[in-house]
Chains A and B, each alone.
Chain A
Amino acid sequence: MNRQSTGFIILTLVIAVLLTIFALPMWLRWIWPDFVLLILIYWSLHIETRSGIFTAWIMGIILDIFGGTLLGEHALALTIVIYLIFKLQKQIRVFPLSQQAGVIFVASILYLAIVYWVQGAISAAPNSFLFWVPIVTNTLLWPWLSMWLQKFRTTR
């Protein structure tokens, strides 16, 4: 449970990044879930031996490079969210999946709010309400993603 091969973790993160940067139609792009956030939350919940905060920071920088946002923007958001998740790790891990989805809901709001705040600070805040749609898609995706990853981990 605690020991997880680093290779598998890196693989899931790479897939998450590829899913994020892959070209999509505009409407799908808006509702596309934040895969990197979800994968990072999953690992920071299920690994006790590593905090994953530095990984979150690096992933944030990678997202900034590919996403065209300011360097450090997603890094800031991911670091804060993953820190809080890791702090509450022991409580959240025993939640049923539906309740965990509630945590994802709040975490997504925090994540997007930080990104929104940074964009607002440089006066380029996204003014479409569609910006907040990933909160819903993240929440809906979480139970599936969590179960899939669980299954992959146990079969390996």
Chain B
Amino acid sequence: MKLVSRHQKFAAVFVGLLASFTTKLGKPTYQLTTKERVIRPIFVRKAFPFQGLKTLTLIILAIVLIVCDHRSTSFVPVRKVLSAVAAPIQYAVDWPVQVVVAIQDNFRFKQTLLAQNAELNAQLLIAQAQLQKSLALEKENLELRNLLQSANEHNEKVLIARILAVDSDAFIDEVVIDKGTPEGIFVGQPVLDASGIFGQVVQVGPLTSRVMLLTDPRSGIPIQVLRNGLRAIAIGNGETDRLLLPNLSVTSDIKVGDELVSSNLGERFPQGYPAATVTSVKTPPGSSFLIVSAKPTANLDGANLLLLLWPHNSIKP
């Protein structure tokens, strides 16, 4: 029985080959019967032969990339090159926004401009007055420091950068700025906006850099309560306007409305810049730690211009 079927198969294959040859010649002389057609799929090539293998390779490659990018510092130059490739596209996306802003500026009424000018002049006057006062205080501070024989704090160098109108993933609190390696930007550089600490530089490229906001889950900033000098760390939570202050014991003296300033404990953020304001203090029953949340002072969602700082972390005894 088996033998017969095998013979039949051979015969069918032979006939099939013959048929294919004849069809190639353009003269289909032999028509396959239904029984013979059953074995035809053997000759049909699979449409995507190594698709599973290809997918597996790509998946493994992706995982290797993830691990390398996360673990190894050797990926920093790769990232730099990729950011250089991405930069022109980011600028291209940013360009129409700038055009709209420019058009808006052009079509502003003279009176509005005059009013704005007057207001800015008034603000400048106030700022200058405050600066004079702070200059006097700085001088006094310097003298006191000299008395204490500690190192002097020099003037800090600053640079203004503009945020490009491109977004990161929703859960990544980062912005792209238009300054990079040529300006001497470095990873870990503190970034401010007009009203407070904004974040820090996490990646530098030749044309653009990435700034991580204070609210990113990976961010943490050592802070101090302005009122009493209590130290804590404000960590990001992924929400736009909330920082968390963990590990404060229930006996800590902190209350709603307290100003939090940077404390230079990690030697990354300069001392004394406003960072956040306490918005809620909760004492969970049975726990020995407070739940404290604070609102960042900086305008994290709406800022347009940022200040990059070159601090002098030379407060060494």
What residues make up the interface of A, taking CB atoms closer than 8 Å to B? 18, 21-26, 29-30, 32, 48, 51, 53-54, 57, 60-61, 65-73, 75-76, 79-80, 83, 86, 118-119, 122, 124-128, 130-131
Most chain A CB inside 10 Å of its own CB: which residue of B79, B97, B170, B217: B170
List B residues 235-251 near A (Cβ within 8 Å).
237-240
Task: Using A53-B51, A76-B62, A127-B238 as known contacts, say yes or no to A65 and B171 having CB atoms under 8 A apart.
Answer: no
A residues within 8 A CB of B210? 68
Selected from B47, B85, B167, the residue in CB contact (under 8 A) with A21 is B167
Say how far B108's CB is from chain A's closest CB, in angstroms.
22
CB distance from B50 to the nearest CB of A (A): 10
Minimum CB–CB distance from A60 to chain B (whole Å) comes to 7
Chain B residue at minimal CB-CB distance from A125: B217
The closest CB in chain B to the CB of A130 belongs to B170
**Contacting pair B165 A22 (CB below 8 A):** yes
| A128–B55 touching, CB < 8 Å | no
Interface locus among B31-39, B63-71, B276-284:
B63-71
Q: Kindly list chain B residues whose C-beta atoms are within 8 Å of the C-beta of A86.
A: 51
Q: Secondary structure of the B side of the interface?
A: helix
CB of B58 within 8 A of chain A?
A: yes
- Contact flags B164-183 to A (C-beta < 8 A → 1, else 0): 11111111101000000000
A-B contact pairs, 7 of them (CB 8 A): A18-B93, A23-B97, A26-B301, A66-B86, A68-B203, A124-B217, A126-B171
Given A65-B83, A126-B171, A76-B63 contact (CB < 8 Å): yes
- Shortest distance from the beta carbon of A44 to any chain B beta carbon, whole Å: 12
Chain A nearest CB, measured from B75 CB (Å): 7
5 interchain residue pairs of minimum CB distance:
A72-B65, A126-B171, A23-B165, A76-B62, A67-B169
The answer on a CB contact under 8 Å between A80 and B59 is yes
A53 vs B52: C-alpha distance when bound (angstroms):
10
Residues A68 and B66 in contact, CB atoms below 8 Å apart: no
Quick check: A68 and B170 within 8 Å, CB to CB?
Answer: no
Least Cβ–Cβ distance between A40 and chain B, in angstroms: 13
Asked if residues A72 and B239 are in contact (CB atoms below 8 Å), the reply is no
The CA of A122 and the CA of B61, in the complex, are separated in Å by: 18
Let me know if A53 and B97 touch, CB within 8 A.
no
CA A75 – CA B172 in complex, angstroms? 17
The verdict on A79 contacting B85 (CB below 8 Å), with A69-B169, A126-B238 known, is no
Q: Is B48 an interface residue (CB 8 A)?
A: yes
Chain A residues contacting B47 (CB-CB under 8 Å) are 48
Q: Are A22 and B93 in contact (CB under 8 A)?
A: yes
